[in-house]
A and B are shown apart, each in its own frame.
Chain A
Amino acid sequence: MSDKIINLPLDAETAKSLKAGEYVYLNGEMYVARDAAHKRLMELIEEKKELPINIKGETIYYMGPSPEREGRPIGSAGPTTAGRMDKYTPTLLDMGLRGMVGKGKRSPEVLEAIKRNGAVYFAAVGGAGALLSKRITESEIICYEDLGAEAIRRIKVENFPVIVVADHNGGYMY
């Protein structure tokens, strides 16, 4: 099976064409957010307030980097456990989120919401933070800077290696 090269943000058709087990290289921009940022986003949603980012059609990478050295856009940057975001994810998917990058298992509710919304969940290799850091060419903090490593970022990636773990047709690797 040859590896696919795809662009971010994901278009609807590409997202639906991906199958669990496929190796994919991501190119383009995505958001970075983990536990604390998700909690804040959900609080805004519950209060029916506007979000600081537009998640429609976007991909979120569950990650909290180590500090960057001078001359580098970001420090070590591997995935964190996606399951901790499960509580928030179905709502975000129903609001238009299309892709997620993390590691580990997802809940049945998330897998259902992936099917319902034509979305996709990728895993990056857990514990390969140095290698993945080198595939990130730009990084900018968008909001929640007070959260330190948990701030929301926008990053640009080049040939960022992931594997499709959960697809729109119900395919699931674990």
Chain B
Amino acid sequence: MREIDVALITEAIKDMCIEVNYDLSDDMKNAMKKASENEESENGKKILGQLMENLEIAKSDMIPICQDTGMAVVFLDIGQDVHLTGGDLTEAVNEGVRRGYTEGYLRKSVVSDPIERVNTKDNTPAVLHINIIPGDKVNIRVAPKGFGSENMSRVFMRKPAEGLDGIRDSIITAVKDAGPNACPPMVVGVGVGGTFEKAALMAKEALTREVGICSDVAWAADLEKEMLLEINGSGIGPGGLGGKITALAVNINTYPTHIAGLPVAVNICCHVNRHIKKTI
């Protein structure tokens, strides 16, 4: 049994919340750079130019990349040989978010109740997903999610007979509806299979996969490439003002499902696709 004090998790999450809101991961930065080289439309080039400049200013002047610094989504993969000590794990995660958003000058965008809508003033609680894995390590992923794009996300319960076409239609419908609202160029996370909630969770997790790495399921990898081409042929373009680059990546995660179903979840993310990992 390896003992890990939850205070270490608090500290890590605090730092990760701050870092990821000021500096995108390298995979995203490279994808943005490639996009601005490949865009052909005048509007598109102009918007991508502003977005590249925005990333530089964010880092050099310590101004968050986007004012919507997100609701903090945290994935913890906890090794089964780990004994967590020093307090309540959920509270430790929330404390990390609280400190990160306060000390990091990040926006507090969380309300305590969906109808009463009173701001919690420290961006807590986080949305926490815990997985138990073999080993004696804790993997932490933090992925703050902005709601301009979150609001355009969908779950479709398809019929098995719809097959690949059902998945294609789900992705394209969600992307077209999102259009300029989701701050394109987007990253599209897709979950196929499982149950209703498993599909949604896979779609979210797909957004934390590095851009440029394809699915290890052959048909899903092919579909990722095909969908990216089709989305970029839609003409929505950067900022929704027309152009070639509407999405930077389509990431599809899959899971076994029921004989009667084909759940498809599409989690839309903007170009500020924040994800960061750390292992303790």
| Contacting residues, chain B, for A129 (C-beta < 8 A) | 54, 58, 63-68
- A66 contacts B64, CB within 8 Å? yes
Tell me the A114-132 residues at the B interface (CB within 8 Å).
123, 125-131
Tell me the A63-85 residues at the B interface (CB within 8 Å).
63-69, 72, 75-78, 80-81, 83
- B107 contacts A64, CB within 8 Å? yes
Q: Does A134 contact B (CB under 8 A)?
A: yes
Separation of A64 and B66 alpha carbons in the complex (Å): 10
Separation of A64 and B271 alpha carbons in the complex (Å): 19
- B67 contacts A104, CB within 8 Å? no
- Set A65, A69, A161, A174: member contacting B67, Cβ < 8 A: A65
| Contacting residues, chain A, for B241 (C-beta < 8 A) | 123, 163, 173
Query: Given A23-B46, A36-B117, are A104 and B66 also a contact pair (CB < 8 Å)?
Result: no
| Contacting residues, chain A, for B55 (C-beta < 8 A) | 130
Distance in Å: Cβ of A8 to nearest Cβ of chain B: 20
Chain B: CB-nearest residue to A84: B151
Q: How many A-B residue pairs have CB under 8 A?
A: 133
Q: Does B194 contact A (CB under 8 A)?
A: no
- B180 contacts A174, CB within 8 Å? yes
Separation of A67 and B123 alpha carbons in the complex (Å): 13
Q: How large is the interface on B (under 10, 10 to 19, 20 to 34, 35 or more residues)?
A: 35 or more
- B180 contacts A75, CB within 8 Å? no
- B240 contacts A76, CB within 8 Å? no
Interface size on A, residues (CB 8 A): 37
- Set A23, A63, A105, A147: member contacting B180, Cβ < 8 A: A105
Distance in Å: Cβ of A70 to nearest Cβ of chain B: 10
Separation of A126 and B151 alpha carbons in the complex (Å): 15
Separation of A104 and B178 alpha carbons in the complex (Å): 9
The 5 closest A-B pairs by CB, nearest first: A126-B183, A104-B181, A76-B67, A130-B58, A130-B63
Q: Does A42 contact B (CB under 8 A)?
A: no
Distance in Å: Cβ of A1 to nearest Cβ of chain B: 9
- A66 contacts B106, CB within 8 Å? yes
Distance in Å: Cβ of B205 to nearest Cβ of chain A: 22
Chain A: CB-nearest residue to B147: A81
Q: Does A133 contact B (CB under 8 A)?
A: yes
Tell me the B116-164 residues at the A interface (CB within 8 Å).
117, 119, 121, 146, 148, 151
Separation of A83 and B180 alpha carbons in the complex (Å): 11
